[in-house]
Amino acid sequence: MDFWLKETSLKPYNTFGVEVSASSIALVREEGQFLRLLEHVRSSGRQLLILGGGSNVLLVRDWAGVVALNKIEGIHVVDEDSESVVVKVGSGHNWHRLVMWSVERGLGGIENLALIPGSVGAGPMQNIGAYGVELSETFVELEALSLKDGTKRIFGLADCGFGYRHSVFKAQEKGKWFIRSITLRLSKRPELRLDYGNLREEVQRLGVDRPGPAEVAQAVINIRRSKLPDPAVLGNAGSFFKNPEVPMKRAQELLTEYPSMPTYASQKPGFIKLAAGWLIEQCGLKGYRRGPCGVHERQALVLVNYGGATGRQILDLALHVQETVHRKFDIMLEPEVNIIA
């Protein structure tokens, strides 16, 4: 087929910069190519791994099957009225480019999600979120192709089972679908969300009298760049762990012992969300280094590859962080990153 790559190294295609290989790699730019690749995989009995931006994955071992690099791009306006614009976006489109496209047109809804690395298709997989906003709030539907037989299905909002960094694609539908595109409704009359962290202060520092989505996006970019390492410079996959949600009683017990502990509202009734980075930092692990990998010195939620780390070494570091936090707080952190082990 005309879209096979000659190389087999996956190092350029994962933001941790882990050196692993695949038996073969295919570059998929349109739906027809993917369907032909799927037929090849099915007839040959090989396994298929789909990578977008490679920004939310830890590759622990070589991949014996085929890797599909999703490069199905494009933004298409499919509906518009006085209140909103509905856009359909190819799943291989860069997420941050979509955010910039939106704010440049004064459209609101995803500006708080600026600079999240990776592709659009990864968004609904884990219901990406940042600074008090989640993808599910603008989500309309997605188009997916069955990995079993290539048939197409539309998943509406209710079908996706969105939760905190969660969807059916990480649970009962895991490994069954290739997300082809997602459709979002963006607002022409955006209501800015500035109450998370120091976002409001950062927007005010921009010195704009009437901030809009573009200013919010720029404030988010400024904050993220001040805290998070650039994967192009220091290998990482962003936040490695989810913020844990604990019963309210347990949160109150912890607040009695640690009055300054940050807490956040949870969508789960009777639960409180805690800051995983704070828990890790309280364990003395911020800046902790183990060989060629470690916990970032400015953001304890981020594990980094200082150069030459294997996926196994990074996974062992993650397990050490989990065990240390569990011993101190009796809370088991859950990885946000997809681990291919």
* pLDDT number for residue 1: 58
pLDDT one-digit tens code per residue, 166-188: 999 999 999 999 999 999 999 99
Instruction: For residue 136, give the amino acid letter.
Output: S
Residue partners of 236: CB distance under 8 A and separation at least 6: 15, 16, 228, 229, 296, 302, 303, 304, 305
Task: List phi, psi (to 5°) of 268.
Answer: -85, 120
Is 3.90.76.10 the CATH number for 75-227? no
Tokens of 321: 């962080």
| CA Rg value for the chain | 20
State the fold for domain 235-340: 3.90.78
* pLDDT number for residue 3: 81
Domain map (residue ranges) of the chain: 4-70, 75-227, 235-340
Nearest to 241 by CA among 272, 277, 284: 277
Q: Which residues of the chain have pLDDT under 70?
A: 1
The structure's pTM equals 0.91
* Residues identified as active-site: 165, 239, 336
The residue written with tokens 């209140």 in the block is 83
Strands 63-70 and 48-51: parallel
Q: How many CB atoms lie within 10 A of CB 18?
A: 26
∠240-178-78 over CA atoms, to 5°? 105
* pLDDT number for residue 197: 81
Contact 91, 52 (CB under 8 A): yes
- The CATH architecture to which 4-70 belongs is 2-Layer Sandwich (3.30)
The residue written with tokens 């789960």 in the block is 268
d(CA 37, CA 111): 35
d(CA 84, CA 254): 43
Phi-psi category of 125—alpha, beta or left, where left has phi over 0 and alpha has psi -120 to 50? alpha
What does the buried/exposed string (b/e) look like for 83-119 if buried means 16 or more CB atoms within 10 Å of the residue's CB? ebbbbbbbbbbbbbebbbbbbeeebbbbbbbbbbbbb
